[in-house]
Amino acid sequence: MVAGAHFLALLSPGPDFFLIARGALAHGWRRASGICLGIALANGLFIALALTGTSLLRPGGALWLVLQWGGSAYLAWLGWQLLRAPAAAHRDLPMPGWHTALPRWSAGLRMGLASGLLNPKNALFYASLFALLGDAATGVRWFYGAWMFTAVLAWDLAVAVAIGHPRVVARFTRQVPRIERATGVILLLLALGVVLIR
């Protein structure tokens, strides 16, 4: 049940999915793999916090509000940068806020890490999943944690490889400006949604 709930959550597209898709289309899956690892590391931190019983994130708490508003501001900033991105339709479009023609892998890692860490829903999701395990043995809980980290990384890499495949990229390269605008709007709406979480 826990594994199934986690997998279904992976299938639902959120800000992480749109960042990976945009990165893979604009720069190929190898560059987007940095975003994937950053997202997985952020999830891994929340998994570790849930496993160790740390409940610093409670709705309405100070840390929750910092993450909620920080995450909303970050998503809104990314969305705005994508809406303002140049309309040049070629593969090596710069990622928003990056000043090199082809961003470094480490820049994608930082972007993925920020996206994952500034999403308070990740923390609550893992806390509630591990609550379902009840009094399971410590080894079993850590096994689930390792599986979840691996599943996040594997799924995100699979998405990046599928979207960043040369045939897919060749087909959608001319559409990158439209995809950027659509992603920008989606990220702005997600930012608004984060603000409205009660």
> What local confidence, expressed as pLDDT, does residue 197 receive?
60
Does the CA dihedral 175-178-180-183 come out positive or negative? Answer: negative
> What local confidence, expressed as pLDDT, does residue 103 receive?
61
Per-residue pLDDT of the chain (198 residues; tens, 9 = 90+): 666 767 666 766 677 888 898 888 878 888 899 999 999 999 999 888 888 865 555 556 666 677 667 767 777 877 787 777 665 544 444 444 433 344 688 888 998 998 888 776 777 777 777 766 667 787 888 898 898 899 999 999 999 999 888 777 777 766 667 777 777 787 777 677 766 765
> What local confidence, expressed as pLDDT, does residue 96 receive?
42
Q: Say how far apart CA 191 and CA 70 lie, in whole Å.
A: 10
**What does the DSSP assignment read for 100-116?**
SSS--HHHHHHHHHHHH
DSSP class of 184: H
Residue indicated by tokens 């987007």 = 32
> What local confidence, expressed as pLDDT, does residue 152 receive?
92
Domain ranges for the chain, please list them: 2-6+24-91+102-196
Q: Which amino acid is at 92?
A: D
Q: Say how far apart CA 43 and CA 122 lie, in whole Å.
A: 7
> What local confidence, expressed as pLDDT, does residue 40 receive?
95
